[in-house]
């Protein structure tokens, strides 16, 4: 219990309410820097007395939804608990500004789109301001230069961050608002670029011209971790290839790729095609000679059992192309259309005119229609297409199936092609304590299932540029094999405007000069370095002035990574990869994985799905404490339903906390040692239960099951209100003498003091309000309770249960008789086991007063406690 010197005579409002507490206490916390991280204290403490959190940087585009409220409440509960345990808590917050979501929002908000070929306009004014909620068609978006586009991204994300901060403050998230960062600010860019240069120097980053997944809408490469497999309507086409006078039928959903076919492939054990292996066939329409080969990935029981391999229709094609060393005949370009120039392998053949007049520059859909019409006319289409639902890969934020396009991209090794590295990264997962523990298997399964390295380049605008240039040869072609890296002390830099050492600006883009890398890093390539960004990892140029070698050495690896289970494969894994390479360690000791918030149809809530609930109105309607109660009631790792009825329960709990505290504090002062004043059996029983509660609540917090801690604290509190307070009211008012009153009042003070601190991580506003009625400091600077503060431990908790059950029996008797609780009981019999009878006898005075028992109380033996033969007198009418 807190020192008496910290306490004051209670000043209790007449009508306590949860309404308005957010405005009142958020202002106080801001003014007093209640949650400020004390760097000097942290450096002076042992490492285990500092708790550092790698807080998720929310995407600063649009608005937050209740899923954010859910996850950030869980993290905040832990931060508040650790702070009350006496630890110095490093709790920063970042804003994930760069990346596709921001660009999409800017495009719709301002009616613009970035265009590398557009010239910079110093007087540019966007055509729209505030087209939120509308999707502006690409054709209606004004193309602008990167230099004009980036300031609009900065402008809008800055405004979004202000709104996000306001909501987080209202929710009561206890981050240190002096420890914030943006993933696009100078420091974040310098950290991302310097880490990349280190990866490049160590051979962990490399460039390659290779087939990769491409989103034709967003005009960008897509990484494996960003894929979603979705059903997509299609049709099977049975098509004939020619082997002499014989026909070899294949079945395909993508006949438009016949011009890109490089082989027919069947399983080596498929007897139907043994005679064909090693021979060639010719393709329908185009007459291109194509080999027939064997590979174990061919599926004999699927379709015709023999498939065409095209460059590239799906990821299996890529595997076949690589492992069988097949030629590259790519026809689909980055804009999702077939290339305009007739391919060399088709030129001069029977399909030259078809390609030039019917396929060149067509969309994939239009090309498919043209090919099918031609196949039907040539007789190479066997029957009509059969509709089906096919699985296709989509970018998680995209609306069209991905294409596989050959392009030059940057990759970071991640174990997808290196068994030893994969094994090392799986081992890193074993060094992290996952909460709940089964989430570790999701991490390991993802790593074990990787089939390629991490593609980290994006063909977008708002992000961290790659800090490299390329020399141009005499023909003006870039020499990608000899990139010119930036000097670390010059970071952050932009190769589009900065000049490499040894060159002048006039040499940009001319033969013998240089050109900057045009791409930006994937947003995960920056946010995967959030521990380094936040903790002061020293970078050469100290961009942003946030280097802090001492702090970094103290708190890295960090203690906690909180996040959703859906981004284990992206954020969590990527952060492990970067830390493994840069520091040869894991980035944190513990990963707390929260579930999703589900809508009434049991689907994940998200802005992209359009089923998310924005939290502003919910917080206003129910109060922040009520919403936090709902969030904290969901266990780590488990999906939870959006449930406003649970928020109503939380609001009722917060209101009861205010009103019960008003009663407990309104009984009057107790002089001297509170614990010494407690002598009554019922009071001792309550405090014995309080001892157990503190032990259990602490145990569950330490095991990351803070939801159970809340459940136990709440259950004890309702017993405290519904049983204990009702039973001791008369005694606390002095009805049984001064000593008995002092015992009750002291117990109320002790129990309230401890319960407020147990509730504080969950209900920060109502607990702060009550604490302020008789304390000078903040409850959030108070210590987490220990059993020594719970008063005497000599009581029997069963006594309160027994007397409470007896009171409930008396109340039921009155209700059954349709009488109010003011009705007098002139006689009754209490049947119970002998030991229970003794517990009730010891507190009979409290039971009589609470139950209005004015007559005889007889005791009888019984298997369980039961009230019998209650004789009741209706209460007199209330005076008007």
For residue 646, the model assigns a pLDDT of 94
Mean pLDDT on 225-239: 86
Q: Is the pLDDT of residue 254 over 50?
A: yes
Per-residue model confidence as pLDDT tens digits over 17-43: 999 999 999 999 999 999 999 999 999
Rounded to an integer, what distance in angstroms lies between the CA atom of residue 467 and that of residue 495?
6
**Sheet arrangement for strand 514-516:** 484-485, 468-471, 514-516
Q: Are strands 93-95 and 180-182 parallel, antiparallel or unpaired?
A: parallel
For residue 574, the model assigns a pLDDT of 97
What separation in angstroms does the CA of 79 have from each of 73, 75, 89, 801? 10, 6, 7, 34
Rounded to an integer, what distance in angstroms lies between the CA atom of residue 607 and that of residue 68?
11
Give burial (CB, 10 Å; 0-12/13-18/19+) of 605: buried
Query: Which DSSP helix (H) or strand (E) runs through 289?
Result: strand 289-294
Rounded to an integer, what distance in angstroms lies between the CA atom of residue 743 and that of residue 403?
77
Nearest alpha-carbon partner for 22 in 771, 766, 782, 773: 766
**φ/ψ of residue 178, rounded to 5:** -90, -5
For residue 608, the model assigns a pLDDT of 57
- Average pLDDT score over the chain: 92
Residues 6+ away with beta carbon under 8 Å from 159: none
Rounded to an integer, what distance in angstroms lies between the CA atom of residue 519 and that of residue 146?
12
Mean pLDDT on 588-606: 83
Mean pLDDT on 783-799: 96
DSSP E strands: which ranges in 355-480? 386-395, 403-412, 433-435, 454-455, 457-458, 468-471
Rounded to an integer, what distance in angstroms lies between the CA atom of residue 665 and that of residue 165?
35
Q: Any idea which residue has 């029981």 for tokens? A: 301
For residue 212, the model assigns a pLDDT of 78
Per-residue model confidence as pLDDT tens digits over 474-498: 999 999 999 999 999 999 999 988 9
Q: Is the pLDDT of residue 655 over 70?
A: yes
Q: Are strands 853-861 and 386-395 parallel, antiparallel or unpaired?
A: unpaired
Is the C-alpha dihedral spanning 310, 312, 313, 316 positive or negative? positive
Residues 6+ away with beta carbon under 8 Å from 396: 226, 227, 228
What separation in angstroms does the CA of 464 have from each of 114, 456, 461? 16, 11, 9
For residue 615, the model assigns a pLDDT of 85
Q: How many helices (H) and strands (E) does the chain have?
A: 27, 30
Residues 6+ away with beta carbon under 8 Å from 357: none
For residue 667, the model assigns a pLDDT of 87
Q: Is the pLDDT of residue 858 over 80?
A: yes
| pTM for the full predicted model | 0.85
Q: Is the pLDDT of residue 6 over 70?
A: no
| CB distance 843 to 796 below 8 Å | no
Nearest alpha-carbon partner for 90 in 516, 401, 503, 536: 536
What separation in angstroms does the CA of 341 have from each of 257, 359, 470, 609, 879? 16, 10, 28, 39, 99
Whole-number percent of the chain with pLDDT over 70: 96
Q: Is the pLDDT of residue 1 over 60?
A: no
**Sheet arrangement for strand 558-564:** 433-435, 588-594, 558-564
For residue 408, the model assigns a pLDDT of 87
Per-residue model confidence as pLDDT tens digits over 375-402: 999 999 999 999 988 788 887 777 788 8
Q: What is the pLDDT confidence band of residue 263, given thresholds at 50, 70 and 90?
A: very high
Q: What is the pLDDT confidence band of residue 602, given thresholds at 50, 70 and 90?
A: low
**φ/ψ of residue 283, rounded to 5:** -80, 145
What count of residues does the chain have? Answer: 880
Q: What is the pLDDT confidence band of residue 134, given thresholds at 50, 70 and 90?
A: low
Q: What is the pLDDT confidence band of residue 641, given thresholds at 50, 70 and 90?
A: confident
Q: What is the DSSP string of 121-172?
A: -TT---S-S--TT----GGGSEEE-HHHHHHHHHHHHHHHHHHHHHHHHHHT
Q: What is the pLDDT confidence band of residue 690, given thresholds at 50, 70 and 90?
A: very high
Q: Is the pLDDT of residue 7 over 60?
A: no
Q: What is the pLDDT confidence band of residue 4, given thresholds at 50, 70 and 90?
A: very low
- DSSP letter at 725 equals I
Can you give the C-alpha Rg of the chain in angstroms?
A: 35
Per-residue model confidence as pLDDT tens digits over 66-123: 888 999 999 999 999 999 999 999 999 999 987 777 887 888 889 998 887 788 899 9
In this structure, the dihedral spanned by the alpha carbons of residues 762, 765, 766 and 767, taken in order and rounded to 10 degrees, is 70
Strand partners, 221: 214
For the chain, the straight-line distance linking the first and the last C-alpha, in angstroms and rounded, comes to 45
| CB distance 217 to 103 below 8 Å | no
For residue 461, the model assigns a pLDDT of 82
Higher pLDDT, 616 or 379: 379
Whole-number percent of the chain with pLDDT over 90: 74
Strand partners, 96: 59
Q: How many CB atoms lie within 10 A of CB 452?
A: 16
Per-residue model confidence as pLDDT tens digits over 267-314: 999 999 999 999 999 999 999 999 999 999 999 998 899 999 999 988
């Amino acid at each position: 219990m807190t020192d008496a010197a910290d306490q004051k005579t209670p000043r209790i409002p007449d009508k306590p309410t949860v309404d308005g507490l957010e405005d009142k206490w958020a202002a106080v916390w801001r003014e007093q820097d209640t949650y400020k991280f004390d760097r000097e204290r942290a450096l002076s403490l042992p490492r285990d007395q500092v708790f550092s959190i790698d807080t998720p940087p929310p995407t600063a585009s649009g608005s937050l939804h209740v899923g954010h409220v859910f996850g950030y409440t869980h993290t905040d509960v832990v931060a508040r608990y650790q702070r009350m345990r006496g630890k110095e808590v490093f709790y920063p917050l970042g804003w994930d500004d760069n990346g596709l979501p921001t660009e999409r929002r800017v495009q719709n908000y301002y009616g613009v789109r970035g265009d590398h070929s557009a010239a910079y306009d110093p007087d540019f004014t966007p055509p729209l301001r505030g087209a939120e909620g509308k999707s502006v068609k690409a054709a209606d978006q004004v193309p602008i230069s990167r230099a004009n586009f980036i300031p609009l991204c900065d402008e809008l994300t800055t405004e979004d961050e202000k709104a996000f901060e306001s909501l987080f403050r209202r929710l009561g998230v206890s981050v240190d608002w002096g420890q914030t960062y943006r993933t696009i600010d100078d420091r974040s860019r310098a950290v991302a670029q310097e880490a990349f240069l280190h990866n490049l120097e160590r051979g962990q980053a490399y460039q390659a011209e290779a087939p990769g997944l491409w989103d034709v809408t967003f005009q960008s490469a897509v990484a494996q971790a960003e894929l979603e497999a979705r059903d997509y309507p299609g049709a099977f086409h049975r098509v004939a290839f020619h082997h002499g006078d014989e026909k070899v039928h294949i079945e395909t959903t993508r006949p438009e790729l016949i011009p890109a076919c490089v082989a027919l492939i069947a399983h080596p054990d498929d007897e139907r095609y043994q005679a064909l292996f090693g021979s060639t066939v010719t393709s329908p329409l185009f007459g291109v000679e194509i080999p027939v080969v064997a590979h174990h990935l061919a599926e004999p029981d699927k379709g015709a059992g023999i498939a065409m391999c095209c460059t590239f229709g799906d990821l299996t094609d890529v595997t076949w192309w690589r492992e069988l060393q097949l030629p590259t005949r790519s026809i689909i370009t980055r804009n999702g259309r077939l290339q305009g120039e007739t391919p060399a392998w088709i030129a001069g053949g029977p399909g030259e005119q078809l390609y030039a007049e019917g396929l060149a520059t067509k969309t994939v859909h239009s090309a498919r229609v043209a090919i099918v019409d031609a196949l039907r006319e040539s007789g190479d289409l066997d029957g009509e297409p059969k509709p089906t639902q096919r699985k296709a890969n989509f970018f998680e934020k995209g609306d069209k199936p991905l294409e596989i396009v050959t392009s030059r991209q940057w990759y970071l090794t991640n174990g997808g092609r290196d068994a030893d590295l994969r094994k090392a990264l799986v081992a890193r997962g074993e060094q992290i304590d996952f909460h709940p523990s089964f989430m570790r298997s999701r991490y390991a399964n993802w790593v074990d299932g990787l089939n390629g390295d991490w593609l980290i380049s994006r063909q977008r605008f708002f992000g961290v540029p790659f800090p490299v240039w390329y020399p141009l040869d005499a023909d003006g072609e870039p020499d990608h094999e000899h990139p010119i890296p930036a000097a670390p002390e010059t970071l952050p830099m932009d190769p589009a405007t900065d000049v490499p050492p040894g060159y002048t600006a006039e040499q940009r883009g001319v033969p013998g000069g240089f050109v900057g890398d045009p791409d930006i890093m994937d947003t995960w390539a920056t946010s995967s370095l959030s521990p380094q960004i936040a903790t002061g990892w020293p970078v050469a140029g100290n961009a942003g002035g946030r280097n802090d070698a001492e702090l970094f050495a103290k708190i890295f690896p960090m203690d906690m990574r909180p996040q959703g289970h859906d981004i284990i494969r992206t954020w969590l894994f990527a952060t492990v990869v970067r830390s493994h390479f840069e520091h040869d360690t894991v980035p944190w000791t513990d990963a707390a994985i929260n579930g999703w918030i589900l809508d009434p149809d049991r689907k994940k809530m998200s802005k992209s799905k359009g089923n998310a609930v924005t939290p502003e109105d919910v917080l206003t309607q129910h109060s922040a404490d009520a919403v936090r109660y709902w969030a904290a009631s969901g266990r780590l790792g488990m999906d939870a339903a959006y449930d406003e009825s649970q928020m109503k329960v939380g609001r009722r709990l917060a209101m009861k906390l205010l009103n019960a505290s008003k009663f407990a504090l309104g009984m009057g002062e107790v002089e001297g040692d509170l614990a010494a004043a407690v002598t009554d059996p019922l009071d001792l029983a309550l405090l014995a239960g309080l001892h157990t509660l503190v032990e259990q609540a602490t145990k569950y917090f330490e095991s990351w099951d803070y939801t159970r801690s809340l459940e136990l604290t709440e259950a004890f509190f309702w017993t405290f209100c519904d049983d204990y307070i009702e039973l001791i009211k008369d005694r606390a008012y002095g009805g049984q003498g001064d000593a008995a009153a002092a015992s009750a009042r002291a117990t109320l003070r002790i129990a309230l003091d401890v319960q407020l601190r147990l509730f504080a991580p969950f209900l920060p506003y109502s607990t702060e309000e009550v604490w302020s009625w008789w304390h000078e400091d903040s409850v959030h600077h108070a210590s987490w309770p220990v059993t020594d503060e719970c008063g005497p431990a000599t009581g029997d908790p069963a006594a309160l249960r027994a007397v409470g059950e007896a009171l409930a029996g008396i109340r039921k008797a009155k209700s059954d008789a349709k009488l109010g609780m003011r009705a007098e009981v002139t006689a009754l019999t209490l049947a119970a086991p002998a030991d229970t009878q003794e517990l009730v006898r010891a507190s009979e005075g409290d039971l009589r007063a609470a139950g209005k028992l004015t007559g005889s109380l007889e005791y009888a033996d019984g298997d369980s406690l039961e009230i019998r033969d209650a004789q009741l007198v209706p209460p007199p009418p209330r005076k008007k």
